Structure 1
Amino acid sequence: MASFFDTPSQSNLAEFTVSELSGSIKRTVETAFDHVRVRGEISGYRGPHSSGHAYFSLKDDKARIDAVIWKGSFSKLKYRPEEGMEVIATGKITTFPGSSKYQIVIEQMEPAGAGALMAMLEERKRRFAAEGLFDPAAKQLLPFLPKVIGVVTSPTGAVIRDILHRISDRFPVHVLVWPVKVQGEGSGDEVANAIAGFNALPVGGAIPRPDVLIVARGGGSLEDLWSFNDEAVVRAAADSAIPLISAVGHETDWTLIDYAADVRAPTPTGAAEMAVPVKAELEAQVAGLAARLSGAMNRQMDNRRQGVRSLARALPSLDQLLALPRRRFDEAASGLGRGLEMNTMAKRRHYERAAARLSPDMLARRLMERRQRVSERMGLADRIVERLIERQKARLGRFDATLTAVPARLKGQTDRAKDRLDSLARRADSAIVNDLRRARAALTAQDRVLQSLSYMNVLNRGYAVIRDADNRPVSRAEALTSGETIAIQFADGRVSAVTGEGEASAPTPAKAAAKATRKAEPPAGQGSLF
């Protein structure tokens, strides 16, 4: 029995190879669309290739077609293509059998106005600028040396590896990566949520709060980077309390997050370089500053040491400092004895003058004068008391006469007044008597002091006072010469005598000078007690 699979095919369809079919399709398409005009927006344009050809796409809101301009046609164009430009392209449709794709080969191209996406982008840019989201005054400064860096990017792309590698080379710090989609549906919301999530981290929490944020993505077309033009992303970047660096696309790619970020980096690697300084350069700078500081300190110490040495040389020596005090001390020491002698002589003269004023006759006269004065004051006091008593008696008499005339109802008051007057009179008599008693006591005390100071008491104890011919007291034997008349005063009187020979009788130059000095002085009324 024959198998079904062994039965030969009875179909009459022609059999083609892949190449034949691709070639047939290519001829059919080129024949049907030999010359067409297409209106669309340029997308993915990066300039002419190194070969001179230009590759990009034309698109509208529903479809997309690849386009190519060969080198010969590109040089003949009046207007160079630009990203987002809406153009009308003239050419033919062809296929590429190697990949089953079709494309338009553009021979002529003319602008048809700004593209829809670019118009939308410009409208958003103007609206956000009017709201102040791009205000330069609101930009924050980047920290000089952050401890934690937050990165918002895709965890699988080359961007994160470039950032980590660059940070590790410059200054290794803690890096937190918030993985997000960087293109496609929902990517804008993920980027905005990542920025807000980093800002919501508490300071000192389990997850460290970043000091700076980097939002990064590699290069791409306008459609690939469109997520970073999303309104939520722009507002999240503008509201970020953490300084934010935008590193989206290449240096020629601009998105709205670049305007809202605090700093725009041309590339993700450039963002890493902006975030951290070079550790080796900082170490070298610190080492240089330390060397400068050490050198400055050494120079300062040398200058101070030199200054101290100069000051030390300018200071006088110890002998020079002590020379003047030593000389003053020697002069004072040499003049001390002479000063003591002169001071003693001055004190002696002062004492002799004071003793001359204290003669017994003068004291007796002063005592008599004091006694006479006291007697006069006592007599005056007695007379005053008598007059006061008489005056009081007269007043009492007048009061008695007045009291006899007052009515009987005032007799009690008059009696009290009379008693009061009697009491005042007695108190006045008592006060006068007490004053007289105190005056007599004071006079008696002064008399006792005068008697105790009188030299007559010394004479009563057996001493005598020697006086020369001029009635001056003589206190030393050397002041007398032989044959000189003297007077000896005892307690009960005076006797005359003539000096004889003795141990100090021989006159000396000092005795003669003293005697001449004593005679030259005017005689006093009374000699010294001693």
Structure 2
Amino acid sequence: MADILDAPAPSNIPEYSVSEISSAVKRTLEGAFSRVRVRGEITEMKRYPSGHIYFSLKDEAGKIAGIVWKGSVSRLGLVPENGIEVIATGRVTAYGERSSYQLIVEKMEFAGAGALLAKIEMLRVRLAEEGLFDEARKRPIPMLPRVIGVVTSPQGAVLHDIRTTIARRFPRDILLWPVPVQGEGSAEKIAAAIRGFSTMPADGEIPRPDVVIVARGGGSLEDLMAFNDEGVLRAAAACTIPLISAVGHETDTTLIDFVSDRRAPTPTAAAEMAVPSRLELLGDVTQKGGRLTAAVARLMAEGRLRVTGAARGLPDIAGLLGQARLRLDDRAERLRMAPDNLLRMRRAEWRHAAERLPHPKVWLDGLRSRLDEEGRRLSLGLPQLLSLRRNALTLSAQGLPTGLRHRISLLRQTEARISARLSPAPVLSGQREARARLEGLSARLQSVSYQAVLERGFALVADAGGQPVTRAGGIAAGDALTLRFADGAVGVTAGEAEAGKPAKAPRPRQAARQGSLL
């Protein structure tokens, strides 16, 4: 009875093992939530080396763990980041070993355009603060590039539109760098293509583009997100080649439009920006050529009219040259004759002056007579002057005080001394000394006079030009000579040389020199 009482009461609650409960929960979750869309903000995101992505989705009241397996990352549709609100599509499953559940995500999309635009706006503000959108850093597009680089998808109408537009306007070489323009990894490949064009060598085997076009067709905001990627924007800003962006249609705007050097509304417009129209260039060149030709013709006509008007006011050039030539010949002839005329005139002037000059002896005699006369007058007048002065002093001293008479006595003594010094004897002695010096100078002058030499029996030989001849070698037979004696001159003719001595050749006649009194 006691054993029956101690036994546990029978229960109708079923008994499960832990694994059974975990399996049941897992089946229930996967059956009830086999395909769900969960909206929330990504947080605690981690990307493991294996390629799997672990994160959590949260809202105001809860949080759920999420996993993106490696094989689904490329098909995810966007790059997950902490802080963005997304709508994750997948299935809910349980992990029995930890008694937890999570969301296996196969696809993600932004939770509405507002969140996506907010993300783009935050990136735009940050890059604008760094100066990537400044107009000062934008470069001009070359007028006629040799090679045009294109970054776009090889499929679709974008590449076809660019090719046909360039071929129609001005055919140029096109270098295509094919890239995907949307989806997982498209942003990295677009950035790599831009950097690849920028780093190409200028003299490499493949020609380096002169301008780069980044283009794609239209699409939704999510489809154009690759061109809002920060890596693409920084690659476009660092590109060393002028870059034209042509993403979407005319109403579509992406951040690469702010970074690029030029923004085109469509790929066709980008091709039109890259190359000019050949027909328009030809028309412009033709028009400017015509205007230039007309301007040159007008300038030539105006210049011809000015030259014609100026020619009317000019005198006869041939007549002026003839008159100038006559004046030149006349001046040359006068210049040739001027030295001889000048020498003859100067020689005549010197001869006339020499004839007017008195003979040194006559000049000295005149000086001697004037000196004698002055001495005689001085010897006669000086004693009378001294006597008159003495009498005047004697008369003035009478009736004067003793002191003044003493001073007059002293003055009289001084006068006596001066009179003794100025007596006729010293004056006559000085006169005689002056006369002796004068006679000595006269004798020296007379001794160096060529006239004195002629008086001693010598003769002065001169040629036909009046120049003295000092050497016999300068005389040729038949030369006219002049022999000047003390009392006159005689003209002679040179004879033959002495016997046994050959006659010397006559020396060339020198140019007329300045005349001489000799």
Relative to the length of structure 1, the TM-score reads 0.46
> Please, what TM-score do these two structures have when normalized by structure 2?
0.47
